[in-house]
Amino acid sequence: MDAADKELAYKEAIEKIEQVKREVGRYIVGQKDIIDTLVLSILAGGHALLEGLPGLGKTMLVRSLSDVMELSFSRVQFTPDLMPTDITGTMVMSHDKDEPFTFHKGPLFHHLVLADEINRSTPKTQSALLEAMAEQTVTVVGETMKLEKPFFVLATQNPIDLEGTYPLPEAQMDRFMCKLLVPHPQKEELKEIVRRTTGTEEIHLQSVMDRAELLVIQKMVKEIMVGDEVLDFAIFLVESTHPDRESSSELVKQYIEYGSGPRGLQNLILMAKARALVSGRYHVSIGDIKQTALPVLRHRISLNFEAEAMNVKEDEILMDLIKRGAGS
């Protein structure tokens, strides 16, 4: 592919992405930043966690993306009695004498899996989901099966102080490329939600991108270049989340128990590459790193008891690090 063809392919990809966001926006009121970041996560090939109170449209947002991108979709309502085989599938008896048991696929065998209220299930079920997220495989009765690409887990989570919730294991949290905090709608957005959902008009979403096109765009994302200066800035942010590093700020040393690992840096670069592509650039800028740092790193740092007592949030500490890194 020569330079002209490559430029045309990039322009067509950008237009496809914009069409996806516009089509989802026809159904989902507001939440522009959430939609933008969620699309970036999909383009970068990562799982996403959406946290917010019930009733904010998290489930409908994920379902809308599957319709618009023509991805096979499954929804799992996570509950305390959900078993690992409920999501992976199980062996069932067959009338075939040669094969007395056949495998019945579970909901994980889809391109986009909505894990609804993920933190209401027990750790045993979480471990089965973790294998799919980490390795894109499912193991049942000792047999390991590959999941078809693309494969995403888009999970919704209630705030952990609500009754009946289980904190997700750190290893599983680290497998989410980003964590998005879904805000409560503003007054005008609430009016529009009521207009769209209580009237007779029905909105039917159109598919504007298919699986093959998505896989091509994901490859384009990886081809975006990252300069040494930008990479150094990203490394500074990740390293500075550890309280025992020289670059750590007083806030980090006082309030963080432990910081982000190498996967945080990898995901930060991938998200920044996706943002550069959507912005029509072939290289990542420091601005891309700044804009993607919060969703990528906020769930990868652990606050200590003092931070919880003082009501210090992860985003406050990360914003301070971003300012310090930009000024250095």
Residue-wise pLDDT tens digits, 29-47: 677 888 889 989 999 999 9
The structural domain count of the chain equals 2
Cα distance between residue 41 and residue 286, in whole Å? 18
Predicted confidence at residue 201, as pLDDT, reads 65
- Kindly give the residue spans of alpha helices, DSSP state H, lying in 140-227: 170-175, 187-198, 211-223
> 106 is in which domain, residue-wise?
9-198+210-214
**CATH number for position 35:** 3.40.50.300
Predicted confidence at residue 95, as pLDDT, reads 66
DSSP labels, 102-127? EEEE-TTSSSEEEEETGGGS-HHHHH
Mean pLDDT over 52-74 rounds to 79
Residue-wise pLDDT tens digits, 10-25: 888 888 898 888 888 7
Indicate whether 252 and 189 sit together in one domain: no
pTM of the full structure: 0.87
Which tokens go with 63?
């379902």
Evaluate whether residue 81 is within a structural domain. yes
Evaluate whether residue 1 is within a structural domain. no
Provide the b/e sequence for 100-134 (b: ≥16 CB within 10 Å). eeebeebbbbbbbbbbbbbbbbeeebbebbbbbbe
Which tokens go with 148?
């078809």
Residue 176 burial class via C-beta count within 10 angstroms: exposed 0-12, middle 13-18, buried 19 and up? buried
Indicate whether 24 and 114 sit together in one domain: yes
Q: Which residue has the higher pLDDT, 159 or 69?
A: 69
> Beta partners for 286?
none
221: pLDDT confidence band, cut at 50, 70 and 90?
A: very high
Indicate whether 53 and 106 sit together in one domain: yes
Predicted confidence at residue 232, as pLDDT, reads 93
Percent of the chain scoring above 70 in pLDDT: 87
**Closest by alpha carbon to 71, among 218, 183, 223?**
218
Cα distance between residue 265 and residue 276, in whole Å? 16
Boundary (domain end) residue, out of 160, 182, 214? 214
Cα dihedral 155→161→166→169 (10° resolution): 70
Indicate whether 172 and 238 sit together in one domain: no
Evaluate whether residue 4 is within a structural domain. no
278 CA to centre of own chain: 17
Boundary (domain end) residue, out of 179, 214, 249? 214
Indicate whether 157 and 305 sit together in one domain: no
Indicate whether 66 and 177 sit together in one domain: yes
Evaluate whether residue 305 is within a structural domain. yes
